[in-house]
Chain A
């Protein structure tokens, strides 16, 4: 059961990712990205990370992608243009992606030996367990990260305001 669901949604994720690259219209690409994000959420759920799955949908598929579609809708950009840069990206991009994937998977597989692996039919990690780790064992890094994000938000607001002066 888990394996069937995994195959279906992994396929969705891959198809969405490929479609994201192939589509010429930016809004179709944005929608494909939503499919990728949502399928990833299901994969998290299959691994028992229920809170992470929902956060993935609320934050990524919901909030962030709405901003993407917003920008696309407001700019109403038509078709993509081929420039010199896009040809270079094509020739360099594929090998670069292959190398990056190889490095990432090697690192993850090696780390798996240290920290142990989880399999598809393992039990669910409840939100309580997750929050105990976040707010007890890793409290300082967690709070520091949130302060960092707050600073980034303030910085973004400050940068966006600069052009308009006293807007």
Chain B
């Protein structure tokens, strides 16, 4: 294939994925407001458009039009850089995620921006760089609440990164590869029975991943970095208008990415839960769209769970958070690795 065609196709893929991803981010916010509303026995946004469906549009417009205030005491270069780091890390990680079956057109993957044989490591490394956005925003704001929030966030993210990384080792052991496509292919054999969460025996790893992911994305019940009652807003206290929106988008983008990763690693990715019970469709369009449907459905379930947990669980205390991460999740993840490798070596 010629170089120009590769460039053009890649650009088209990047733009399409970016637009869909950002729309998904906006509607995840709406989903959260709706669901938390129903959990708290109220309606949630319902005025703009049918069922409040146009609310994200209006919210975006509001954030664009708001006055952008830069406090005089901030350290400007880093204050401006921090939201950019946070958002770009959040957007970067979607690039390695395969959304659908590995179909090719002129040698290009259709449902994936790039298929890398170290996809999982890329995700982990982008997560570890994402800490800087939060750490720098808190420090450069020159505000004690921001600094405390960002210190909490970075300490929490570093601590839970370990448990998160170790919980994925069992999955990698089973697939024998770090490529996300390969990891899904291992789970594709017998439908739901061969997903990592059931047939793969990685259900403990799944729960470790789930809890570590809540902490990594600074979401309830581990949302101490932005605990309003103690820290006003946490690391983004001094940010307004689009800069605040960038942190906001980064948080929800990370939520979606985490959902995608959970789907790929534990829930069988784009494969259908019925396996061979339903014969594969003959129509090419259905063949392409059915995996996309399963993928989106699984990610949606994961996001629903995320919001459900936020609506029901109270916030942890900080020492409980650290103790839980280091003294419970980390040993459990290590035991899971030992157990998985023992079983795999015996099989």
Contact = CB atoms under 8 A, between A and B. Distances in A.
Whether chain B is bound by chain A comes out as yes
A70 to B, nearest CB: 7
B136 interface: yes
Interface string B99-118: 00000000000000000011
A17 interface: no
A121 to B, nearest CB: 15
B122 A54 contact: yes
A93 interface: no
Interface string B172-193: 0000101000000000000000
Nearest to B178: A127
Interface in B130-145: 131-132, 135-136, 138-139
B157 to A, nearest CB: 9
Contacts of A127: 117-118, 178
Contacts of B121: 50-51, 54-55, 58
A61 B124 CA distance: 12
Given A34-B132, A69-B132, A70-B154, A58 B78 contact: no
Interface string A37-58: 0100000000000110011011
B129 interface: yes
A124 to B, nearest CB: 8
Contacts of B129: 38, 57, 61-62
Contacts of A66: 128, 131-132, 135, 154, 158
Interface residues of chain A: helix, strand, loop or mixed (majority): helix
A38 B135 CA distance: 18
B125 A27 contact: no
B125 A50 contact: no
Interface residues of chain B: helix, strand, loop or mixed (majority): helix
Contacts of B161: 63
A73 B135 contact: yes
A127 B139 CA distance: 37
B169 interface: no
A70 B78 CA distance: 15
A124 B136 CA distance: 35
A83 to B, nearest CB: 26
A86 interface: no
Interface residues of B, number: 23
A45 B138 CA distance: 32
Contacts of A128: 176
B151 interface: yes
A58 B158 CA distance: 11
B234 to A, nearest CB: 15
Given A57-B125, A62-B131, A66-B131, A73 B151 contact: yes
B158 A27 contact: no
Contact of B128 (A31, A61, A126): A61
Contacts of A54: 118, 121-122, 124-125
A61 B85 CA distance: 14
Interface in A105-149: 124, 126-128
Interface string B76-88: 0010000000000
Interface of A: 27, 31, 34, 38, 50-51, 54-55, 57-58, 61-63, 66, 69-70, 73-74, 124, 126-128
Given A38-B129, A54-B118, A124-B117, 13 more contacts: A34-B132, A57-B129, A58-B124, A58-B128, A62-B129, A62-B131, A63-B128, A66-B131, A69-B135, A69-B136, A73-B147, A127-B178, A128-B176
29 contacts: A27-B136, A31-B78, A34-B132, A50-B117, A50-B118, A50-B121, A54-B118, A54-B121, A55-B121, A57-B125, A57-B128, A57-B129, A58-B125, A58-B128, A61-B125, A61-B128, A62-B128, A62-B131, A63-B158, A66-B132, A66-B135, A70-B154, A73-B139, A73-B147, A73-B150, A73-B151, A74-B151, A126-B117, A127-B118
